[in-house]
Structure 1
Amino acid sequence: MHDIVHTRRIARLLASASAAGLAMATPALAQDQTPPATITPPTAPPTTAAQGPEGAEFGATQDIVVTAQFRQQKLQDIPIAITAVNSAELEAKNQTNLAQVADNAPNVSLKPQGASFGPSVVASIRGVGQNDFNPAYEPGVGIYIDDVYYPQLTGAVFDLLDLDRVEILRGPQGTLAGRNSEGGAIKLYSKKPTGEGGGFVEVSYGSRNRIGVRGAADFKITDTLFGRISGVAKQQEGFVDRIDFGCANPSSGIPATQSGGDCTISKLGGIGYQAIRGILRWQPTDALEVNVIGDYTHDEHTIAGEVLLATSPINSPNVNPVPGVPYDDRFLCGRFCNYITTGQPAATWVPPIPVDPLGAAGTPLAATTGNDRSLYDGWGVSGQINYQVNDTIALTSITGYREFDTRFDSDDDLSPANVGFGKNHLTNWSFSQELRANAQLTDALNLTIGAYYFKQESLYDSLQDIRYVPVFPLQFRQPDPTKADAKAVFAQASFNPFEGFTLSGGLRYTDESKDQQYFRLNLDGTVNRFLDPVGAVYGVGYSGPDTQGLFGGGTVTALSGLIAKYSAKRVDYRLAADYRFSPELLVYASFSTGFKGGGSNPRPFNAQQVIPFAPEQLNAYEVGLKSDFFDRKARFNLSAFINDYKDIQIPVSTCPGAPCAARLNAGEGQIKGFEAELSVFPVPGLAIDASLSYLTFKYNADSLNPSATFPTNPGGVVANDPPTVPPWKFGLGAQYKADLGNAGSITPRFDVNYQDKQYTGPTVLNGTRIRNFIPAYTLVNARLTWTNANEDLDISLEALNLLDKYYLLTIFDLRGAGAGFRKGRPGSPQEFALTVKKKF
Structure 2
Amino acid sequence: MRVLRPGFVRPFLTAGVSLGTLALAAPLAAQEAPAEPVAAEAEAERPSNEIIVTAQFREQRLQDTPIAITAVNSEMLTARSQTDISQITAQAPNVSLKPQGAAFGPSLAASIRGVGQADFNPALEPGVGLYVDDVYYATLTGAIFDLLDLERVEVLRGPQGTLAGKNSIGGAVKLYSQRPQGNNTGSVAAAYGSRNRIDLRASADFGLTDNLAVRIAGVAKKQEGYVDRLDFGCVNPPGSALNPAVGGVQPQTSGDCRVARDGEVNYQAGRIQLRYQPTNTIDINLTGDYSHSDNTNAAGVLLLSNNNSPNIRTDSPAVPLDNRFICGRYCNYASYFSPEGTFTGGIADGTPMVQTRGDGRTKLDNWGIAANIDIDLTDDLQFQSITSYRDYRLQFNNDDDLSPLSHSNGFGDLTYWGFTQELRLNGAMLDNTLNWTIGGFYLDQRSVYATFQDLRYVPVYPLQFQGNDPVNADTIAAFANASWEFIDDLTVNAGIRYTKEHKDYTFARRNRDGTVNPFLGALDGESGAYDGDRVDYRLNLQYRWSEALMTYAQVSTGFKGGGINPRPFNPAQVQSFGAETLTAYEVGFKSNLFDNSVRLNGAAFFSDYKDIQLSLNSCPQFGGPGPCALPANAGDAHIKGFELETTIDPFDSGLLIDASVSYLDFQYQEINPGAGGPTGVQLSMISPYTAEWKWAIGVQYEVDLGNSGSLTPRFDANYQSDTFSNAVNGPNNLIDGYTLANARLTWRNADEDLSVSLEVTNLFKEYYFLTNFDLTGAGGGIVTGQPGRPREWALSVRKNF
Shorter-chain TM-score: which interval? over 0.9
Equivalent of 1:687 in 639, 650, 656? 656
2:509 corresponds to 1:520: yes
Q: Distance in 2 between matches of 1:658 and 1:748?
A: 58
Structure 1 equivalent of residue 332 of structure 2: 338
Q: What SS class does the counterpart of residue 106 from structure 1 fall into? A: coil
> Judging changes above 3 Å, is the alpha-carbon distance between structure 1 residues 371 and 321 closer, same or farther for their aligned structure 2 residues?
farther
2:429 corresponds to 1:441: yes
What is the CA deviation profile of residues 77-113 of structure 1, one whole-angstrom value per residue up to 9, with x for unaligned ones? 1110000111111111111111111111000000011
Matches within 5 A, 1:476-625: 476-532=465-521, 535=522, 559-625=523-589
Q: Distance in 2 between matches of 1:613 and 1:778?
A: 38
Q: Distance in 2 between matches of 1:37 and 1:167?
A: 17
2:344 corresponds to 1:350: yes
Amino acid in structure 1 at the alignment position of 2:400: D
Q: What SS class does the counterpart of residue 733 from structure 2 fall into? A: strand
2:675 corresponds to 1:708: yes
CA-CA distance at 1:257 after TM superposition:
4.2
Equivalent of 2:253 in 259, 272, 290? 259
Structure 1 equivalent of residue 42 of structure 2: none
Q: Distance in 2 between matches of 1:646 and 1:471?
A: 35
CA-CA distance at 1:38 after TM superposition:
4.5
Structure 2 equivalent of residue 6 of structure 1: none
Structure 1 equivalent of residue 198 of structure 2: 211
What is the CA deviation profile of residues 385-443 of structure 1, one whole-angstrom value per residue up to 9, with x for unaligned ones? 11101112111111111111111101111101241100011111110112211111222
Q: What SS class does the counterpart of residue 78 from structure 2 fall into? A: helix
What is the CA deviation profile of residues 776-833 of structure 1, one whole-angstrom value per residue up to 9, with x for unaligned ones? 1000000000111111110000000011111111121112322111111100000000
Equivalent of 1:156 in 138, 143, 157? 143
| Contact in 1 for aligned 2:587/2:604 (Cα 8 Å) | yes
CA-CA distance at 1:584 after TM superposition:
1.0
Structure 2 equivalent of residue 737 of structure 1: 702
Q: What SS class does the counterpart of residue 246 from structure 1 fall into? A: helix
CA-CA distance at 1:752 after TM superposition:
0.2
Q: What SS class does the counterpart of residue 332 from structure 1 fall into? A: coil
Q: Distance in 1 between matches of 2:565 and 2:715?
A: 46
Equivalent of 2:353 in 365, 368, 378? 365
What is the CA deviation profile of residues 227-257 of structure 1, one whole-angstrom value per residue up to 9, with x for unaligned ones? 1000000110011010101111112122434
What is the CA deviation profile of residues 450-470 of structure 1, one whole-angstrom value per residue up to 9, with x for unaligned ones? 122110001111110111212
Q: Distance in 2 between matches of 1:139 and 1:503?
A: 30
Moved more, 636-645 or 44-53: 44-53
Q: Distance in 2 between matches of 1:220 and 1:73?
A: 29
Structure 1 equivalent of residue 721 of structure 2: 756
Moved more, 808-817 or 227-236: 808-817
| Contact in 2 for aligned 1:320/1:418 (Cα 8 Å) | no
Alignment: residue pair count: 768
Q: What SS class does the counterpart of residue 429 from structure 1 fall into? A: strand
Matches within 5 A, 1:22-421: 22-24=5-7, 36=9, 38-40=11-13, 45-46=16-17, 52-54=23-25, 62-250=49-237, 251=239, 252=243, 253-254=245-246, 255-314=249-308, 316-320=309-313, 327-352=321-346, 356=347, 360-421=348-409
Q: Distance in 2 between matches of 1:689 and 1:507?
A: 35
Q: What SS class does the counterpart of residue 102 from structure 1 fall into? A: helix
Amino acid in structure 1 at the alignment position of 2:103: S
What is the CA deviation profile of residues 273-303 of structure 1, one whole-angstrom value per residue up to 9, with x for unaligned ones? 1100111111121111000011101011110
Taking structure 2 as the reference length, the TM-score comes to 0.93
Q: What SS class does the counterpart of residue 608 from structure 1 fall into? A: helix
CA-CA distance at 1:260 after TM superposition:
0.6
CA-CA distance at 1:323 after TM superposition:
9.3
Amino acid in structure 1 at the alignment position of 2:305: T
CA-CA distance at 1:326 after TM superposition:
7.7
| Contact in 1 for aligned 2:409/2:453 (Cα 8 Å) | yes
Amino acid in structure 1 at the alignment position of 2:781: G
> Judging changes above 3 Å, is the alpha-carbon distance between structure 1 residues 447 and 575 closer, same or farther for their aligned structure 2 residues?
same
Q: Distance in 2 between matches of 1:472 and 1:398?
A: 50
Amino acid in structure 1 at the alignment position of 2:585: Y
| Contact in 2 for aligned 1:36/1:189 (Cα 8 Å) | no
What is the CA deviation profile of residues 603-636 of structure 1, one whole-angstrom value per residue up to 9, with x for unaligned ones? 1100011122100100000000001111111100
> Judging changes above 3 Å, is the alpha-carbon distance between structure 1 residues 53 and 88 closer, same or farther for their aligned structure 2 residues?
farther
What is the CA deviation profile of residues 630-676 of structure 1, one whole-angstrom value per residue up to 9, with x for unaligned ones? 11111000000001001111111135885521111112111000000
| Contact in 1 for aligned 2:614/2:727 (Cα 8 Å) | no
Amino acid in structure 1 at the alignment position of 2:609: Y
Q: Distance in 1 between matches of 2:200 and 2:685?
A: 45
Amino acid in structure 2 at the alignment position of 1:470: P
| Contact in 1 for aligned 2:131/2:175 (Cα 8 Å) | yes
Equivalent of 1:820 in 760, 781, 790? 781
CA-CA distance at 1:154 after TM superposition:
0.8
Q: What SS class does the counterpart of residue 140 from structure 2 fall into? A: coil
> Judging changes above 3 Å, is the alpha-carbon distance between structure 1 residues 53 and 278 closer, same or farther for their aligned structure 2 residues?
farther
Amino acid in structure 1 at the alignment position of 2:257: C
Q: Distance in 2 between matches of 1:477 and 1:64?
A: 53
CA-CA distance at 1:319 after TM superposition:
3.0
Q: Distance in 2 between matches of 1:321 and 1:234?
A: 42
Moved more, 336-345 or 686-695: 336-345
Q: Distance in 1 between matches of 2:727 and 2:372?
A: 46
Structure 1 equivalent of residue 451 of structure 2: 462
CA-CA distance at 1:729 after TM superposition:
0.4
Q: Distance in 1 between matches of 2:728 and 2:17?
A: 59
Equivalent of 1:832 in 787, 793, 796? 793
> Judging changes above 3 Å, is the alpha-carbon distance between structure 1 residues 771 and 330 closer, same or farther for their aligned structure 2 residues?
closer
Q: What SS class does the counterpart of residue 706 from structure 1 fall into? A: coil
Taking structure 1 as the reference length, the TM-score comes to 0.89
Unaligned runs of 5+ in 1: 1-14, 25-34, 536-558
CA-CA distance at 1:589 after TM superposition:
0.6
Q: Distance in 2 between matches of 1:389 and 1:793?
A: 43
> Judging changes above 3 Å, is the alpha-carbon distance between structure 1 residues 321 and 386 closer, same or farther for their aligned structure 2 residues?
farther
Q: Distance in 2 between matches of 1:727 and 1:608?
A: 38
Structure 2 equivalent of residue 551 of structure 1: none
Q: What SS class does the counterpart of residue 694 from structure 1 fall into? A: strand
Q: What SS class does the counterpart of residue 329 from structure 1 fall into? A: helix
Q: What SS class does the counterpart of residue 751 from structure 2 fall into? A: coil
Q: What SS class does the counterpart of residue 668 from structure 1 fall into? A: strand
Moved more, 455-464 or 324-333: 324-333
Q: Distance in 1 between matches of 2:105 and 2:338?
A: 19
> Judging changes above 3 Å, is the alpha-carbon distance between structure 1 residues 686 and 98 closer, same or farther for their aligned structure 2 residues?
same
* Identical columns (%): 52
| Contact in 1 for aligned 2:555/2:585 (Cα 8 Å) | yes
Q: What SS class does the counterpart of residue 389 from structure 1 fall into? A: strand
| Contact in 2 for aligned 1:763/1:814 (Cα 8 Å) | no
Structure 1 equivalent of residue 3 of structure 2: 19
| Contact in 2 for aligned 1:380/1:403 (Cα 8 Å) | yes
Q: CA RMSD in A?
A: 2.0
Q: What SS class does the counterpart of residue 507 from structure 1 fall into? A: strand
Q: Distance in 2 between matches of 1:282 and 1:633?
A: 40
